[in-house]
Amino acid sequence: MSDLVIKNLHVAIEGKEILKGLNLTIEQGKVHAIMGPNGTGKSTLAYTLMGHPNYEVTEGEVWFKGQNILELEPDERAHLGLFLAFQYPVAIPGVTVANFLRMAINARRKAQNPEDRGIPIPEFRRLLKEKMKTLQMDPSFAGRYLNDGFSGGEKKRAEILQMATLEPEIAILDETDSGLDIDALRIVSEGVNALRGPNLGVLVITHYQRILNYINPDYVHVMMDGRIVESGGPELALHLEEHGYNWLREKNGAPATA
C-alpha cells in the first residue's frame, strides 16, 4: 500500500509560520477529510504537499513510496502518484482537454521509462472514452479548451476527469466544493465516488460539511492554528456543523469567538 505519511510538518510563508507541527497519515484506499476555520493552514498543506515554491518547509518530513517527497520537484511528486485538484483551476486557451490529458499521461510514462514513446492514440481514445463514461460526461467536453469559458462546475469536473485519467494513488482535493451550486456539487461528488477504491487515497479539504453529505469520509480531521487538533469518523463533521469550532478552541486553550 502507498500511504502518504506527514511527520511534524512546519511551513512558513514570507517568514510567517502557518503549519506548526502537523502529523497525518493518508492511507491508500481511504478518504480523509480536513475541516477547520479560515486561516488554519488547510490550503497551505495542499500546496506544500505538491511542492509550491512559495511555501517554505522549515521542519518535518513527508514520506511516500519510500521517499521524502519534500526533496522532489512538483512534477516528480506527480509522477510518483500524487495529484492535486485546485480550488481555482487555471484556463489554458488553445489546449483541448484531450490533448492536455494525453500530454500529462505521456509525461508520467516517460518519467517511469525514458524509452517510452507515449500512449498510442487509439489506446488513449479508448481510455478517455471509458473514464468520461464512468463520470457521466458528454464526449464533446474533451474537445473544449481546458477551463476556457468553463463554469465553476465544469472546471471542477475537468479536475476530476484529470484524476480519473491519471489514476493517482493519493489525490488531494483543495476545496473542490468552493463556488459550486447544489447540482454541480452533487455531480462532482458522484465523480469522486465513482473513482473510490482500494488503489486511491483521497484527502478532501473543505470549510463545510455539505460536500461530506455526498462524499462519505472514512476519517475527519480538524485543523486549528496549523495543527490537527481532533480526529474522528463522519460523525465529527456533523458535530461541527451543529456546534461550530468554539468547543475545540476551548478544549485546546484558544479563546472562543462569537
- Mean pLDDT of all residues in the chain? 91
Of all residues in the chain, what percent carry a pLDDT higher than 70? 97
Residue 258, pLDDT > 50, answer no
Distance CA 135, CA 186 (A): 12
Comparison of pLDDT for 209 and 142, the residue scoring more: 142
Per-residue pLDDT band at 175 (split at 50, 70, 90): confident
Residue with cell 521542519: 59
SS3 of residue 151 by DSSP: coil
Report pTM.
0.89
pLDDT of residue 58: 97
Torsion of CA 106, 111, 117, 123, to 10 degrees: -40
Mean predicted confidence (pLDDT) in 171-188:
84
Domains of the chain by range and CATH?
A: 4-251 (3.40.50.300)
pLDDT of residue 151: 87
